[in-house]
C-alpha cells in the first residue's frame, strides 16, 4: 500500500493543533504538529512533508511568511491557510502568496477534511503528471493503475489462456484494439500473425473477398488468386473491429466460419480449413441490435464467449495523469523539445471533463498542447475552447438542439484537425452519418 501523506500542522493554539491532529489521524493521514514557524521550517528541512496547514497570525513569524518560504523552497508541498481573522483581502493575499486552500475559523470537521482531500488530490495529480510519482510501465501498450483497469488486466490474462472467441466492448477511443493485441500477444499464438480488420471501413461489395480471398476470375479485376485476411492470420488471431457494421448476409458467412472453421474463397467451390482465433469489438449494444433484428442472435452468442468491457475514461480518472505524462513524453520526444509541465488547474480540468472521445481524445488534446505551446507550463487558457468555462456558453440556454449539436460537431472536428473519421469515432457515429450532419 502507498504511504499516507505526511501533514504538518502549524498553529500557536494547542486546542487547534489537537482538533486537526485528531481528525486527520482518524482519516488515515500521518500528522505532525508544531507551534511556530521556526520549528516548522526545521521539520520541512529534515523530512518529506506533503501538506502544510498553517495559522495566519502567530508570534515572531507569520503564517504568510511560512507560505512564502514553502513556495520558494519546497515547491512540491501543498499549503492550506487557516485563520480566525478571515477577510477577502487576506484570502486573496494568501492565495497569491501560494496557499491553495483558505479556511476561516471556526471550521467544521467536514470542511477541514474536504480541503485536505482537495490538496492531496492536487499533489497526487501533479506528481503523477510530472513523473515524480510512480508511473507503471504500459503492459502490452495498456496504461492504467485504476481499479477498473487492474480488473481488466486480470480478465485479459484469463482470456489469453483460452482459445475461445473474445468480444471487446467499449466506447469509441477506449483502446479496444490495444486490448485485442494484449490478448493475442499474451497467448500461445503470440508468434503467429495478428491481423486487424476494420469491418466498417471496407465497402460491402469487397468485404467478403478481403476477408476470405478470391479465386482468379471470380469477378472483374480478379486477375490472380489472392488470399484474404483469414488466410493471412493462419495460426494467429484476427481482430474484427466494428463487427456491428457487418450486413446480415456477411454475419451469416462469419457464423459458418465460426461453426465449421473453414472459409470459402470468392469463386471457389471447395472450403479451406483455417486455424484462426477471432477477436471482435464494437461500441454498440449488440443485445439491442439483436432485438431489432439488425444482428444475428446465433452469431452474437458465438462471439460473446469471453466478453471484455473497457471502462470509459470518465470512470477511470485516476489514470489521467499517467496518460498525460505518457503522451506528453512521446510527442515532446518526437518534436525534439522538453516535456512541458501541466498547471494544477489544467490537471483538475482534465479530470472533470467528460472525455466523450475517451483516451483517443485525450491523446489528441495532449498532442496539440505539446505542439502548439511554447511555454514550459501549460495553463488553462491554452486548452481547447470546449474544455474551458465560458459564461456566454453556459448562460445561453436559448439555443435549439440542432444548434448545440452543430456547434459540438464543429468543435470535435476542430479538435482532430478536420479528420472526419476520427471525429465520427469521438461522436459515436459512422463517417457517413457525420457527412450527412455536416451537409445539413
> CATH code at 434?
1.10.8.60
Q: Which three cell numbers stand for residue 273?
A: 480449413
Angle of helix 358-372 versus helix 420-427 axis, rounded to 10? 130
**How many percent of the chain have pLDDT more than 70?**
88
- Residue 136 inside a domain? The answer is no
Task: Give how far the C-alpha of residue 113 lies from the chain's centroid of Cα atoms, to the nearest Å.
Answer: 27
Count CB atoms within 10 A of the CB of residue 67.
25
108 and 70 share one domain: yes
Give the 3-state secondary structure of residue 62.
coil
Question: Which residues does residue 273 pair with via DSSP β-bridges, in sequence order?
Answer: 262
pLDDT for 263-286, tens place per residue? Answer: 888 877 788 899 999 999 999 999
- Residue 138 inside a domain? The answer is no
Last residue of a domain, one of 262, 283, 309: 309
Indicate if the pLDDT at residue 234 is higher than 70: yes
Which has the minimum average pLDDT: 93-102, 154-163, 376-385? Answer: 93-102
- Residue 195 makes CB contacts below 8 A (sequence gap 6+) with 229, 232, 233, 236, 237, 238, 239
- Residue 140 inside a domain? The answer is no
Query: What mean pLDDT comes out for the span 131-137?
Result: 42
Going by C-alpha positions, the residue among 325, 308, 1, 32 that lies closest to residue 158 is 308
Q: Which helix (H) or strand (E) holds 80?
A: strand 78-83
Q: Is the dihedral of CA 19, 24, 25, 30 positive or negative?
A: negative
The confidence score (pLDDT) of residue 417 equals 62
Question: Which residues does residue 10 pair with via DSSP β-bridges, in sequence order?
Answer: 34, 54
366 and 433 share one domain: yes
- DSSP sequence for 150-208: HHHHHHHHHHHT--S-EEEE--TTS-HHHHHHHHHHTSTTTTS-EEEEEGGGS-HHHHH
Indicate if the pLDDT at residue 3 is higher than 80: no
Last residue of a domain, one of 252, 275, 309: 309
Q: Which has more confidence, 166 or 406?
A: 166
Q: Which three cell numbers stand for residue 207?
A: 468485404
Q: Which three cell numbers stand for residue 267?
A: 469463386
Query: What mean pLDDT comes out for the span 192-200?
Result: 92
Give the Cα separation of 66 and 43 in Å (integer).
12
Indicate if the pLDDT at residue 410 is higher than 80: no
Tell me the residue range of the domain where 179 lies: 147-309
Q: What burial class does residue 91 get, using C-beta atoms within 10 Å of its C-beta: 0-12 exposed, 13-18 middle, 19+ buried?
A: middle
Give the 3-state secondary structure of residue 210.
helix
Give the 3-state secondary structure of residue 416.
coil
Which has the minimum average pLDDT: 43-47, 387-391, 411-415? Answer: 387-391
Q: What burial class does residue 323 get, using C-beta atoms within 10 Å of its C-beta: 0-12 exposed, 13-18 middle, 19+ buried?
A: buried
Give the Cα separation of 256 and 236 in Å (integer).
19
Q: Can you give the length of the chain in residues?
A: 440
* Residue 106: cis peptide before it, omega within 30 degrees of 0: yes
Count structural domains, the chain. Answer: 3
pTM: 0.66
**How many percent of the chain have pLDDT more than 90?**
43
| Residue 291 backbone phi and psi in degrees, to 5 | -60, -35
185 and 37 share one domain: no
296 and 154 share one domain: yes
Which has the minimum average pLDDT: 170-174, 220-224, 356-360, 368-372? Answer: 220-224
Task: Give how far the C-alpha of residue 328 lies from the chain's centroid of Cα atoms, to the nearest Å.
Answer: 14
Q: Which residue has the cell 478571515?
A: 86
| Residue 175 backbone phi and psi in degrees, to 5 | 105, 40
> CATH code at 89?
3.40.50.2300
Q: Which helix (H) or strand (E) holds 79?
A: strand 78-83
268 and 209 share one domain: yes
- Residue 155 inside a domain? The answer is yes
Amino acid at each position: 500500500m502507498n504511504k499516507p501523506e505526511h501533514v504538518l500542522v502549524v498553529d500557536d493554539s494547542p486546542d487547534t493543533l489537537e482538533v486537526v491532529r485528531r481528525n486527520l489521524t482518524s482519516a488515515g493521514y500521518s500528522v505532525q504538529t508544531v507551534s511556530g514557524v521556526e520549528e516548522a521550517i526545521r521539520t520541512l528541512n529534515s523530512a518529506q512533508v506533503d501538506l502544510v496547514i498553517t495559522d495566519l497570525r502567530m508570534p515572531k513569524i507569520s503564517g504568510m511568511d511560512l507560505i512564502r518560504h514553502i513556495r520558494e523552497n519546497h515547491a512540491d508541498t501543498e499549503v492550506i491557510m487557516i485563520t480566525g481573522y478571515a477577510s477577502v483581502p487576506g484570502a486573496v493575499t494568501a492565495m497569491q502568496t501560494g496557499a491553495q486552500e483558505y479556511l476561516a475559523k471556526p471550521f467544521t470537521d467536514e470542511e477541514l477534511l474536504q480541503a485536505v482531500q482537495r490538496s492531496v488530490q492536487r499533489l497526487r495529480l501533479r506528481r503523477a503528471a510530472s513523473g515524480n510519482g510512480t508511473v507503471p510501465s504500459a503492459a502490452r501498450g495498456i496504461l492504467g493503475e485504476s481499479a477498473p483497469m487492474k480488473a481488466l488486466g486480470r480478465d485479459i490474462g484469463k482470456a489469453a489462456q483460452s482459445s475461445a472467441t473474445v468480444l471487446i466492448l467499449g466506447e469509441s477511443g477506449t483502446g479496444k484494439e490495444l486490448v485485442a493485441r494484449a490478448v493475442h500477444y499474451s497467448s500461445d499464438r503470440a508468434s503467429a500473425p495478428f491481423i486487424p480488420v476494420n469491418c466498417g471501413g471496407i465497402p460491402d461489395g469487397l468485404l467478403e473477398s478481403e476477408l476470405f480471398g478470391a479465386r482468379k476470375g471470380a469477378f472483374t479485376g480478379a486477375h490472380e488468386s489472392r488470399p484474404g485476411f483469414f488466410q493471412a492470420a493462419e495460426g494467429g488471431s484476427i481482430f474484427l473491429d466494428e463487427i456491428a457494421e457487418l450486413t446480415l448476409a456477411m454475419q451469416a458467412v462469419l457464423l459458418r466460419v465460426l461453426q465449421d472453421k473453414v472459409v470459402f474463397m470468392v469463386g471457389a467451390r471447395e472450403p479451406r480449413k483455417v486455424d484462426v482465433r477471432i477477436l471482435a469489438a464494437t461500441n454498440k449494444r449488440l443485445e439491442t441490435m439483436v432485438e431489432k433484428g439488425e444482428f444475428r442472435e446465433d452469431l452474437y452468442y458465438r462471439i460473446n464467449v469471453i466478453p471484455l468491457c473497457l471502462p470509459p475514461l470518465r470512470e477511470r480518472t485516476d489514470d489521467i495523469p499517467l496518460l498525460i505524462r505518457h503522451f506528453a513524453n512521446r510527442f515532446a520526444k518526437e518534436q525534439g523539445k522538453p516535456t512541458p509541465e501541466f498547471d494544477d488547474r489544467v490537471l483538475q480540468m482534465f479530470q472533470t471533463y467528460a472525455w466523450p472521445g475517451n483516451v483517443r481524445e485525450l491523446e489528441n488534446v495532449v498532442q496539440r498542447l505539446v505542439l502548439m505551446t511554447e511555454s514550459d507550463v501549460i495553463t488553462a487558457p491554452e486548452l481547447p475552447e470546449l474544455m474551458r468555462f465560458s459564461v456566454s456558453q453556459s448562460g445561453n440556454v436559448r439555443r435549439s438542439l440542432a444548434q448545440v449539436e452543430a456547434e459540438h460537431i464543429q468543435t470535435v472536428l476542430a479538435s482532430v484537425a478536420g479528420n472526419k473519421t476520427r471525429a465520427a469515432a469521438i461522436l459515436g457515429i459512422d463517417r457517413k452519418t457525420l457527412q450527412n450532419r455536416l451537409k445539413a
